[in-house]
Structure 1
Amino acid sequence: MPTPALTQHTSPVAPARRLVCFPHAGGAASFYRDWRQFTQPEVELIAVQYPGRENRMREPLVPTLEKLVLALTEELLALPPLPTVFFGHSMGAAVAYETLLRIEHTGATHVTRLCVSGRAPQRPPRASARTDEEVVAAVLALGGTHASVFEDPDLRELLLPIIANDYRLIDAYRPATEVPLLRASVHALTGSDDPQVTPEEAGQWRATTSGPFALTVLDGDHFYLVPEADQVARAALEPELRLPV
């Protein structure tokens, strides 16, 4: 039986809100563990664990983003409904968005906000699959993994297939053009010096929702959210956005 995809970082006795976090390519649920110190006591903090890493290490990697999203949708809908925020960084932004589309399609309304970080809603298609060396170069260029990880043969052998699979998923991903607008509000966040997405491109998430939209630009590169974790977590859980009058 597969291990649950949802890792619970906090377990309030009487939770009032839920924050569900979706990791970047090559990332894991533990990336969001330290956010416990930035959330209120009544917030249930959950992080998604993709197959093939940490406590799901023995599970096969998922071949398509669609299959990943369908499994996450089923598991998330099985939770007791609470006012919920989705937060996704980089690849996680696309996974969170597609998951929310499917959840809203069921008629559920408890996910009230989508926070998308470090990614534009549309990306130009990639002509060919990345080689292992191209994957390593892409990861290092974004500052997500220190070079020493790939210099260690054992760590490279362990981590590279996982990261390469995630890159294949996101390189092949194309958001559908004919989809309903989200009802949930959308808050786009990005680093001022992110080489992968400009603030203007992050602002294009405005077109994905009929609800309120906000854009926050913080100092830093693609992984700006590591030094700014406190500010990012608090932004995700700030009072609900309102449409301008």
Structure 2
Amino acid sequence: MTTVSDEGARWFRRYVPEAREAPVRLVCLPHAGGAASYFFPFAQAVGERVDVLAAQYPGRQDRRQEPCIDDIGALADAAFAALRPFLDRPVALFGHSMGATLGFELARRIETVPGATLVRLFASGRRAPSRPGGELVHTFDDDRLLAEVARLSGTDTRVLADDELMRSALPAIRADYKAAESYRLAGEAELGCPITALAGDADPKTSLDDVRAWERHTTAGFDLHVYAGGHFFLAEHRQPIVDLMTERLAAHTARR
């Protein structure tokens, strides 16, 4: 039984309590402006086969009173410290957009822990760390930044229609965009775990070549899966993606 620290409980949400003793954990890392609740449907679809832990970054929802973190390295350090108690069994990482970059940095840290088993990194909707972008969305004024969020269609339309709610989320959105856009890879890092990359064929933010470049960041296996859709293709292909993840993790879930 894992003993979860206060920090671990603050950082990670488990939406299927019955899965806590599953033989492998899947840590899900949201996109810029996202929250742990984005992965609630994924956790429900996976059920008890995998212990899904969804990360809740500071500065949103029940952590709204905490300062936002606008640097990927600092965010990875804080998340890693909170994740340490959960490394008592094999762990995989699933990150979408900014979450994929954060997942890569978390993976680098996990691989330094003696006895920890990192099963796989699922990198979704994000260019490889070796492919820096030139976006400056975090410098946009409030109206233009909110328009960019709406354009990518990753937020519930009911939330988008609530101007007061969206503006209250602006500090977290801006901090996340700054973290993602200012990230630069330090060194030519390769992971010792396999990487599975996922992409939308009409993603306006990430080209297939940029996603394919994740192959350079692993000394183990690599596979790429392309789905119809834009930046948030996950919502349209939830079950196939859940099936893919559980199939890739099957070696560690065979006991269930």
The amino acid that maps onto 2:166 is R
Letter in 2 for 1:217: V
Matching residue of 2:57: 50
Change in 2 beyond 3 A, CA 1:138/1:67: same
Structure ranking higher in helix proportion:
2
1:64 aligns with 2:74: no
Q: 1:149 offset after TM fit, Å?
A: 4.1
The residue number in structure 1 matching 2:208 is 199
1:124 lines up with 2:130 in the alignment? no
CA distance, structure 2, for counterparts of residue 170 and residue 29 of structure 1: 18
Gaps of 5+ in 2: 1-5, 251-256
Give the SS at the match of 1:61: coil
1:137 aligned residue (139, 144, 147)? 147
Tell me whether 36-45 or 228-237 shows the greater mean CA deviation.
Answer: 36-45
How large is the Cα RMSD of the aligned pairs?
2.3
Whether the 8 Å contact between 1:14 and 1:42 is mirrored in structure 2 is: no
Q: Which amino acid aligns with 2:230?
A: D
Offset, 1:115 = 0.3
One-letter amino acid matched to 1:227? E
For 1:147-169, what per-residue CA distance to the aligned partner results, in whole angstroms no more than 9, with x for missing partners? 76455442133112211111111
Distance 1:210 1:36, change over 3 A: same
Identity %: 32
1:95 corresponding residue in structure 2: 102
Equivalent position of 2:83 in the other structure: 76
TM-score, length basis structure 1: 0.89
Is this contact kept in 2: 1:10–1:46, CA < 8 A? no
Per-residue displacement from partner, 1:74-106 (whole Å, max 9, x unpaired)? 111222522221000000000111111111123
Match of 1:188 in 2: 197
Structure 2 residue 28 is matched with structure 1 residue 21: yes
Once residues 162 and 21 of structure 2 are traced to their aligned partners in structure 1, the CA distance between those partners, rounded to angstroms, is 45
Q: How does 1:157-196 map to 2 (within 5 A)?
A: 157-179=167-189, 181-196=190-205
CA distance in 1, matches of 2:120, 2:221: 9
Query: 1 CA distance for matches of 2:158 and 2:41?
Result: 23
Task: Tell me if the contact between 1:19 and 1:45 (Cα under 8 Å) persists in the aligned partners.
Answer: yes
Q: What is the alpha-carbon distance in structure 2 between the residues aligned to residue 239 and residue 93 of structure 1?
A: 17
Please give the secondary structure, in 1, of the residue aligned with 2:226: strand
Q: TM-score, normalised by structure 2?
A: 0.86
After the TM superposition, list the runs of 4 or more consecutive aligned residues in structure 1 that deviate by more than 6 angstroms.
none
- 1:219 pairs with 2:228: yes
State whether residues 87 and 116 of structure 2, in contact with CA within 8 Å, keep that contact through their aligned partners in structure 1: no
